[in-house]
Chains A and B, each alone.
Chain A
Amino acid sequence: MESLGQFEQIVLTAILALDDNAYGVTIHAKVEELSHPKKAARGAVYATLDRMEDKGLISSWLSEPTKERGGRSRRHYRIEKSGEKALRESARTAQRLFETIAQNLGGLAWKPRG
């Protein structure tokens, strides 16, 4: 199974959260939100999307052209089964990390953002 890098995890999570509305602009906005306060270059998001598509973790297709994009299409993305599996594995690892850090350092209560 593919192991994911940190940025790949963020991009994959963004696609998962956006569901049917996952394309370049929205994915970049979601990635910036998830990786706050770090900034993410849009080019890095495209490069990661290409790489994950080549690994078979996600798939893409072009939509119909729209006026608000100068008559150009959006490239939509969707997570594949292997991507879901890799993301679940990453989440488990992150959970184990979180629990270990919380046990040893304390004061790491999870707070949902308002």
Chain B
Amino acid sequence: METAGVNGPPEWLERVVLAAIPPAARESVAGDLWETYRTPDQYAVEALHTVPLVIVSQMRRNLSLPTLMLQGALIFICLGGPATLILLPVLMLRSAYQPTARPCPARVFREAILLSSGAMALLFLLMSTRFPFAARSGVDHATWLSLFLLGLLLSPFLCMLRAGLIMQGDRCMPLAADELPKDELARGYSAFLQGVLCRNLLEAMALAAMAVSGFFFGWNTALVGLFALGAFYLLLDAAPRALPATSDFTSLRARYRQELGHQQQLRHFLRWLWFTPVLVALHARLAQDELAAGQPLRAVLDCVACAVLCFLVAALNREHGGRTQEQIGLLDRMRERLSP
């Protein structure tokens, strides 16, 4: 049997265990399992006893209940109850496996191309049955052709969008040092808190403005309430969190990591919240007007718009989340530079 090292578990077994351990705990848990390795059986049994609890713990740590509830509501509105029952546990499990780095460019471009190909396939499907639909929706060949070209352009558009997000992420990587004096770390943390405070206040005001305008324009009451609650929560969260003067480097680093994680969850929720009215409106148009009135063309366009919007929110969350996790990882390994 092939082994990964002199006293290590078999390579295939270690690969299986590594895949099962959530990325945030992989380094330490896999190392601990390796250190106590005696036989493949003992290793497998130990992993079986350990990994499920680690998954549950990571799920509890990374899961943002407001985000999950919002996503659950959106899935329920758009896809119905059975889909919600299936997708919610998937979303919960996914949160346990939150990546610790930004996604690699090749993968994100592949996803962008896959999404645009899906939209094209949908158009092709409708074009192949164009006669019954065309007769009902009054779409001529020229319109189909322009739609097809639009589908072709979707792929480079999404790729450029992702490239822009990657480039933006590359530009903002603060605290990339292996060693820092405590004062510098404290300064970095204070600057981060100030930035968060300004951003939260501005976003709270914007959410409140949306809630007020939604109220006057007769939006769905639940949506208006959600925006108002979001604004209120952000105002509460904007309260300044001063560091105790006695904090040493380790405590400061722990606080910084915790705050980064908290802000990541908050931004994740807010991004979904900002796009919720558009998604709900698109779905309402899709469900009530277009399919009922036999307008498959507009229905397809709205489906594509929904998919592109979801892609955009997910891309923003993954880029920002990955960047935050990279920063948490840097802080995890950072040492204190003592002044001479």
Contact = CB atoms under 8 A, between A and B. Distances in A.
Nearest to B252: A59
Interface of A: 23-25, 28, 41-44, 46-47, 50-51, 53-54, 56, 59-62, 65-66, 68-70, 72-75, 78, 80-81
A46 B22 CA distance: 13
30 contacts: A24-B28, A41-B53, A42-B32, A42-B49, A43-B50, A43-B53, A43-B57, A46-B50, A46-B57, A47-B56, A47-B57, A50-B58, A53-B254, A54-B258, A56-B254, A56-B255, A60-B254, A61-B334, A62-B333, A68-B34, A68-B35, A69-B32, A69-B34, A70-B8, A70-B30, A70-B31, A70-B34, A73-B31, A74-B31, A80-B254
Given A42-B46, A60-B254, A61-B250, A72 B28 contact: yes
Interface of B: 4-5, 7-8, 14, 25, 27-32, 34-36, 46, 49-54, 56-58, 60-61, 244, 246, 250-251, 253-255, 258, 332-334
Contacts of B31: 24, 65-66, 69-70, 72-74
B27 A62 contact: yes
A80 to B, nearest CB: 6
Nearest to A60: B254
Contacts of A59: 250-251, 253-254
Contacts of A54: 61, 258
B179 to A, nearest CB: 13
A60 B4 CA distance: 28
B28 A47 contact: no
A53 B334 CA distance: 18
Contact of A50 (B14, B57, B246): B57
B35 A69 contact: yes
Contacts of A44: 53
Contacts of A50: 57-58, 60-61
Given A54-B61, A75-B28, A61 B333 contact: yes
Nearest to A48: B57
Contacts of A47: 53-54, 56-57
B217 to A, nearest CB: 41
Contacts of B58: 50
B123 to A, nearest CB: 47
A53 B28 CA distance: 15
Contacts of A66: 31
Contacts of B35: 25, 68-69
B156 to A, nearest CB: 40
B36 A61 contact: no
A47 B7 CA distance: 27
A25 B35 CA distance: 8
B52 A25 contact: no
A82 B73 CA distance: 38
Nearest to B58: A50
Nearest to A46: B54
Contacts of B4: 70
Given A24-B29, A73-B28, A75-B27, A61 B253 contact: yes
